[in-house]
Chains A and B, each alone.
Chain A
Amino acid sequence: NAGVTQTPKFQVLKTGQSMTLQCAQDMNHNSMYWYRQDPGMGLRLIYYSASEGTTDKGEVPNGYNVSRLNKREFSLRLESAAPSQTSVYFCASWVYYNEQFFGPGTRLTVL
């Protein structure tokens, strides 16, 4: 079991560029999440997918889009990156009565 995997691990973008962060889980979990972690702000929820075929906004969705490609995969897209999106991005998955499992994170810098 690989758990939750994320690609890439590191990325540097210029303002206005686009990119997609990939996440996959092999635990057959229904729910998947994208969080961002910033110094002094803690972890905040960007988007979540309660089940395959559904997505919903979290606390800080502006500037992002998501796709739940299938039960395993949940991607996060930045259409036009801004310096304010410099952060560490974590993907997580969850099933009822269990703990959330997190991926190793993607460290994104937008210049």
Chain B
Amino acid sequence: KQEVTQIPAALSVPEGENLVLNCSFTDSAIYNLQWFRQDPGKGLTSLLLIQSSQREQTSGRLNASLDKSSGRSTLYIAASQPGDSATYLCAVIGTGGGADGLTFGKGTHLIIQP
């Protein structure tokens, strides 16, 4: 059974720092990996999608990398801002066509101090 772990569970840093959130998964046979953001009491917003054949994706100040063979992904946030405060979730889809849903990590709760 696929398991997804996110480290750290919580992180508090001053504004302006560059930071890295980590995600690991136990079964490297994945279809793709998706990073989400969730604000308190809200739904999930998709940030980046990395296909299994890709190594990284970038969107603005966000960069996500994928090393499928080692079962790891990182989300890099450059020049952090207070508006980046949220919970960040990593999720993978297995190679069963993907129709059987995402397996999620429990998230990293990020606080950016002004």
For chains A and B in complex, what number of residue pairs have CB atoms within 8 angstroms? 60
A70 at the interface (CB under 8 A from B): no
Chain A 79-107 residues near chain B, CB threshold 8 A:
90, 92, 94, 96-105
A56 at the interface (CB under 8 A from B): yes
- Cβ–Cβ contact B97 & A50, under 8 A: yes
Q: Nearest Cβ in chain B — how far from A78, in angstroms? A: 20
Q: Nearest Cβ in chain B — how far from A109, in angstroms? A: 14
Interface size class of B (residues with CB under 8 A): 20 to 34
B101 at the interface (CB under 8 A from A): yes
Please, how many residues of chain A have a CB less than 8 angstroms from a CB on the other chain?
A: 28
- Cβ–Cβ contact A100 & B34, under 8 A: yes
Bound Cα distance from A105 to B41, whole angstroms: 9
- Cβ–Cβ contact A42 & B104, under 8 A: yes
Enumerate chain B residues within 8 angstroms of A101, measured Cβ to Cβ.
46
Bound Cα distance from A44 to B43, whole angstroms: 14
**CB closest chain-A residue, reference B102:** A100
The chain A residues found within 8 Å of chain B, CB to CB, are 30-31, 33, 35, 40-45, 48, 50-51, 56, 58, 90, 92, 94, 96-105
